[in-house]
Structure 1
């Protein structure tokens, strides 16, 4: 049980609440009117008592008196962008929130939970602010819970998860944009006065155009190893909104949460509205350090089996598309065993009978095995896989429906579509209405039936390829503005049920690529699909940017026939995460097959370092002819460095050594090249042994050039 701190009746005393982690602090403080303000964010002070003196050191213009509010209400004294806007049951739109008390609960040695209660003195309206801190990782999850006891319905017009106030002599935002096969394109710029908004109104696949991850550098643009930087990501798979307001006092206000566009929420008396968490971390040692904190937090606390293992796989999609049968799949199952991976994954096209799934125009929603393609069903394939000594996995897209399907004919009221408008399709499909509990049951049963009929099914790839057009729910009737929110909540209810019944089964989060990569969904998944673009040159850039927010163990990287790079290059790139294959093994040359066997052996030796080690970005693909990225285990005894040529102009390559990071300067390391193609020789000298000091100060040249476009180096401590 936590300790409760109450406001005194005279409120003579000021309340200061430090929210501390191993290196950092966020400080909340009340003023004479009980307004709760955020007065500090940065490296923590040695003397906790001195936090009380911070606010007095600032003399900045603030006519409202609440510009740095910890959760800014609208309609009263506030003159800036609010975190919360409401319409009370009597129609009044003003809100004032004052401090009542706070509770600190110690969850375990690493985790603490601060709960701060704020109330409106004039209305029976309450907001609780939650700050869940992960001490060792320097990570905070922040969210709010909104509740009222008014007579009637209160409308929530805006309802942010977090409202951060940052101080600095300037702020630089790194954000992302993209589209299908062009995910995670970065842009960085100085923030000017006014409001910069990153948002999504797509309903599903919400991260397709603008991902909900961002970085803010303070005082100057942070580099990989220097500078003050905040990394933030919203744990929500639907419409989001992040407002960054450089205010009149030259401070930055970051307000993040569910997008309130077309989503005002009608809250009954006594009902609680819980916002999703904003997860964030801070470092004064650059973007690399901040990203390692976030990656460590994700592995330790958020993703399913983050400290565990993953399955390598062979997928049939690039080999067959929709055109397959039992005989073709039997050959691919033999290839899976021959290749030496753990699992065969059957992709789209295995279902539908009245409307067979022979292309993407029909069948979605009709999840019975196609009798022509699979006369003996999925169970025979699972047995065939077992006979070949491999596991079996399957693709589903359970949230979706094709108009050409039995489900659409039987349950048109389950489909999100406007009753009086022409249907508009995204990839020839529509969404099922997950705000409806019957639809939630239907979607859960798709998964449950697969496992019930096939208990040895070992993997599911969960896709989501459409956005929401013509948003309308037959189930919600008059509360149409709840749809975007209740859809995501319905999805999470289904995923929660899946995880309760099947806690450890590997699930890949796919959304036509990176359309749904967020920690709101990833808490139910073991991995995600970064992009349908598997061209290895493109993937170097895409995987590089994702790695700031997500650990390598979550990134599904497949070797395919996309791009013009040799098999070695494609495989080396895919090894920077969770390795898979989507190629026709039987068509490979003997040398290619020999290379893959050797590469898989190397991967099995190094995957623990890649999945669970610390990641260091050495040379950015955006700024160099060659990109270099490194993983080191916690003991600093083993490391792996991936190097790739990303510029094909004449004479490009690594002309100077690449300085390594994260090693022990006192230790000696043997540096050897691995993943060599058959009959190829390394240009590194044999039995090269160098100290960590040398490798981090001078570096090592991997000799990347047009003849050696990808080079993988393994480092092992020499005792």
Structure 2
């Protein structure tokens, strides 16, 4: 054997061992910053060379002194760079992996080395604390402040960063993430979502392998159309509803986003999330502060069900506009009339609204435009004056007629977009996002207005403001957004790479102004379906439209997936003519959220009319349980022949269970009992079938009493099957 040939091998291992033991020594000297919620801890460490790293993210330890011992229990390959687990990974210096931040300094240098300077942790109230950590590249005077907002009871953490500098000239930001996480588990299972119009929220779960998996959007607007910015990562093994450690993540940003999941050579997971830096390098002037949007995450050790319940609670208390308030049931005219209507026909629909028993009539697309009338989706968008042929007395006559019928009135707008066939387009071509030397390319015959331009922001604000000034009793806005950005170019901006970011900031400026003047008016966030759904937008909206696909069978699957991230009170569901299911099935599915109707009431058979009128009253009786209760998903439609989920109120004395047959082949149905969730094992309950169609009876014995213990351990069979494709149950404690 050639001894000489072994010398490089021995030297290499000697270096590795030295690196390993050196890392251990450094770990003993580290400053540890534990950021703790009720059940979890995200622990940052500062090395003796002032690098800020992530030491741990997992279950909270009883003693915070023991966090310093965590890394000693790992015997992994050495970290050559010593920044693999950086809390905010910078590019161009020692880092060998995907960065969270990269810059071009004023002198053209592309390196960045961020060192810990100081930190502060303060309690904002009894449930919320916030940490701020200052980092600096002292060679260049480039500063980063990392923020962590901790919602203790809900185990939710929001992360974002602020970037600034003191260099002589502008610094170009080429990547600027909001959050950077690091995990040291054995395996990672990513659940992401994909879709298209009328086919939203399709889940895919896969084992993450080495390299980078990226979830992103480059659409500019309607950014969630193909890939939503919500995801899950299960640690070690796929998570179930009630078992497993799982991270829920979401970007609070309504524009282009990018989420990188990188499995490194040590088999650890690096997660970086933020705005997409695609075509968006940002020039930052001296003294200017660039604030990234928030990245939220929640770690659960008891499966996906616990994670979603905590996220719902957080959303209703802290994020969703009026999350613990009321919502309006409504009748929409779209599928009854499409663009073909006039004042008299709408007056009849207002009477139908009263007869149906809902709160509000919503006038959808087609009410505006004169020189270019809105008779289809080819023209008129941008000209927000009532069409004189359809509405000779304006919108105000409809608002007045609604009041005389004892209902409220709402209206559809799409103020961010414009048709080329419109007065607005011809008067202000400079307000439109389009390349000056290229042929226009349309999405649904539309182009996007340039909201980076303050004049356009004023215009969009006044679309809403003028409606309210003319109609003070206006009670609801449906805000649509159908186009994406093609041929990105702003005639307003000097720096074209700012457009994708400044567009969204402009949108938020408009929404801030609207909410300052009209703080509580309900508004639906619609984007041809779920094309724009995130918690930054939902700060301004009371609800969102999940999909234009209202086939109830398809909606069961879509609403199931949305339910992981968004509470029922935020999800607008309408009863329409889509699908082949009976009316009762359609109504029951729509009740799993905020109920609305898009039907021709005057064409209903007498029994159908009687049923929907009674269903509205039934919904009024159970809606608070659905909106404010805890959600338990019981039978997954993707894996079984029927779907079952339930909402339980805080007192655990009332619950509603929704059950639907999703496979009618070979007499399928609920052959086994369904284990309920969230009840009090010591209480006793009666179960009654509700929302029955006239002339039908229930198979359920409503006189039988069960303990909560029995219902959660043995379960209850809703008896779903042929002829009983939809069964809605109310569970009430026996007093």
Q: TM-score range by the shorter chain?
A: over 0.9
Indicate the larger mover: 45-54 or 354-363.
Answer: 45-54
Does the CA-based 8 Å contact 1:230-1:283 persist in structure 2?
yes
Q: What's the counterpart of residue 53 of structure 1?
A: 69
Q: What's the counterpart of residue 435 of structure 1?
A: 452
Aligned pair partner of 2:540 in 518, 524, 548:
524
Q: Within the alignment, does 1:35 sit opposite 2:51 as a pair?
A: yes
Q: Within the alignment, does 1:680 sit opposite 2:696 as a pair?
A: yes
* Structure 1 residues 497-544: Cα deviation after superposition (integer angstroms, max 9, x where no partner): 111111111000000000001111111100000000000000000000
Instruction: Report deviation, 1:134.
Output: 0.6
Instruction: Report deviation, 1:430.
Output: 0.2
Q: What's the counterpart of residue 488 of structure 2?
A: 471
Q: What's the counterpart of residue 475 of structure 2?
A: 458
Instruction: Report deviation, 1:12.
Output: 11
Q: Within the alignment, does 1:211 sit opposite 2:222 as a pair?
A: no
Instruction: Report deviation, 1:105.
Output: 2.0
Cα separation, 2, equivalents of 1:167 and 1:272: 33
Q: What's the counterpart of residue 5 of structure 2?
A: none
Instruction: Report deviation, 1:597.
Output: 1.7
Which protein has the larger Cα radius of gyration, Structure 1 or Structure 2?
Answer: 2
Cα separation, 2, equivalents of 1:535 and 1:688: 35
Q: What's the counterpart of residue 590 of structure 2?
A: 574
Q: What's the counterpart of residue 675 of structure 2?
A: 659
TM-score by length of 1: 0.98
Q: Which runs of 4+ in 1 moved over 4 A?
A: none
* Structure 1 residues 113-148: Cα deviation after superposition (integer angstroms, max 9, x where no partner): 110110012111000100001111110110111111
| SS of structure 1 residue aligned to 2:49 | coil
Q: What's the counterpart of residue 327 of structure 1?
A: 344
| SS of structure 1 residue aligned to 2:665 | coil
Does the CA-based 8 Å contact 2:91-2:112 persist in structure 1?
yes
| SS of structure 1 residue aligned to 2:536 | helix
In the TM superposition, 1:626-705 aligns within 5 A as: 626-705=642-721
Instruction: Report deviation, 1:688.
Output: 2.2
Cα separation, 2, equivalents of 1:271 and 1:18: 30
| SS of structure 2 residue aligned to 1:519 | coil
Aligned pair partner of 2:106 in 70, 82, 89:
89
Q: What's the counterpart of residue 6 of structure 1?
A: none
| SS of structure 2 residue aligned to 1:220 | coil
* Structure 1 residues 16-62: Cα deviation after superposition (integer angstroms, max 9, x where no partner): 11111111111101111110001111110011111122122223221
For structure 1, the residue ranges without an aligned partner over 5 or more in a row are 1-10
| SS of structure 2 residue aligned to 1:298 | helix
Aligned pair partner of 1:382 in 399, 405, 424:
399
Q: Within the alignment, does 1:355 sit opposite 2:372 as a pair?
A: yes
Does the CA-based 8 Å contact 2:28-2:68 persist in structure 1?
no
Instruction: Report deviation, 1:648.
Output: 1.8
Cα separation, 1, equivalents of 2:342 and 2:469: 23
Instruction: Report how many aligned residue pairs link the two structures.
Output: 708
Cα separation, 1, equivalents of 2:234 and 2:321: 31
Does the CA-based 8 Å contact 2:686-2:702 persist in structure 1?
no
Does the CA-based 8 Å contact 1:40-1:166 persist in structure 2?
yes
Q: CA RMSD in A?
A: 0.9
| SS of structure 2 residue aligned to 1:288 | helix
Instruction: Report deviation, 1:426.
Output: 0.2
Instruction: Report deviation, 1:687.
Output: 1.2
In the TM superposition, 1:281-680 aligns within 5 A as: 281-477=298-494, 479-680=495-696
Q: What's the counterpart of residue 159 of structure 1?
A: 176
| SS of structure 1 residue aligned to 2:561 | helix
Does the CA-based 8 Å contact 1:621-1:646 persist in structure 2?
yes
Aligned pair partner of 1:266 in 283, 287, 293:
283
Indicate the larger mover: 389-398 or 591-600.
Answer: 591-600
Aligned pair partner of 1:706 in 700, 708, 722:
722
Q: What's the counterpart of residue 20 of structure 1?
A: 36
Instruction: Report deviation, 1:679.
Output: 1.1
Q: What's the counterpart of residue 72 of structure 1?
A: 89
| SS of structure 2 residue aligned to 1:282 | strand
Cα separation, 2, equivalents of 1:91 and 1:522: 40
Cα separation, 1, equivalents of 2:470 and 2:330: 22
Does the CA-based 8 Å contact 2:645-2:659 persist in structure 1?
yes
Cα separation, 2, equivalents of 1:249 and 1:30: 21
Cα separation, 1, equivalents of 2:30 and 2:269: 24
Cα separation, 2, equivalents of 1:118 and 1:60: 28
* Structure 1 residues 452-487: Cα deviation after superposition (integer angstroms, max 9, x where no partner): 11111000000000000000000003x000000000
Instruction: Report deviation, 1:13.
Output: 5.8
Cα separation, 2, equivalents of 1:27 and 1:500: 38
Does the CA-based 8 Å contact 2:475-2:521 persist in structure 1?
yes
Does the CA-based 8 Å contact 2:34-2:44 persist in structure 1?
yes
Cα separation, 1, equivalents of 2:511 and 2:302: 37
Q: Within the alignment, does 1:253 sit opposite 2:270 as a pair?
A: yes
* Structure 1 residues 234-262: Cα deviation after superposition (integer angstroms, max 9, x where no partner): 00111110000000111101100001010
Classify 1:294/1:686 alpha carbon distance in 2 versus 1 (closer, same or farther; 3 Å): closer
Classify 1:208/1:534 alpha carbon distance in 2 versus 1 (closer, same or farther; 3 Å): same
| SS of structure 2 residue aligned to 1:214 | strand
Instruction: Report deviation, 1:306.
Output: 0.4
Instruction: Report deviation, 1:699.
Output: 0.7
Cα separation, 1, equivalents of 2:191 and 2:487: 32
Does the CA-based 8 Å contact 1:145-1:272 persist in structure 2?
yes
Cα separation, 1, equivalents of 2:522 and 2:705: 39
Cα separation, 1, equivalents of 2:705 and 2:726: 22
Cα separation, 2, equivalents of 1:605 and 1:52: 53
| SS of structure 2 residue aligned to 1:595 | helix
Does the CA-based 8 Å contact 2:418-2:425 persist in structure 1?
yes
Cα separation, 1, equivalents of 2:586 and 2:548: 14
Cα separation, 2, equivalents of 1:34 and 1:18: 17
Does the CA-based 8 Å contact 1:12-1:32 persist in structure 2?
no
Cα separation, 1, equivalents of 2:320 and 2:239: 28
Q: What's the counterpart of residue 731 of structure 2?
A: 715
In the TM superposition, 1:134-213 aligns within 5 A as: 134-213=151-230
Cα separation, 1, equivalents of 2:599 and 2:28: 71
Indicate the larger mover: 104-113 or 162-171.
Answer: 104-113
| SS of structure 2 residue aligned to 1:600 | helix
Does the CA-based 8 Å contact 1:16-1:52 persist in structure 2?
yes
Cα separation, 2, equivalents of 1:657 and 1:223: 19
Does the CA-based 8 Å contact 2:29-2:47 persist in structure 1?
no
For structure 2, the residue ranges without an aligned partner over 5 or more in a row are 1-26
* Structure 1 residues 605-644: Cα deviation after superposition (integer angstroms, max 9, x where no partner): 1100100110000000100101001000011010000000
Cα separation, 2, equivalents of 1:25 and 1:461: 41
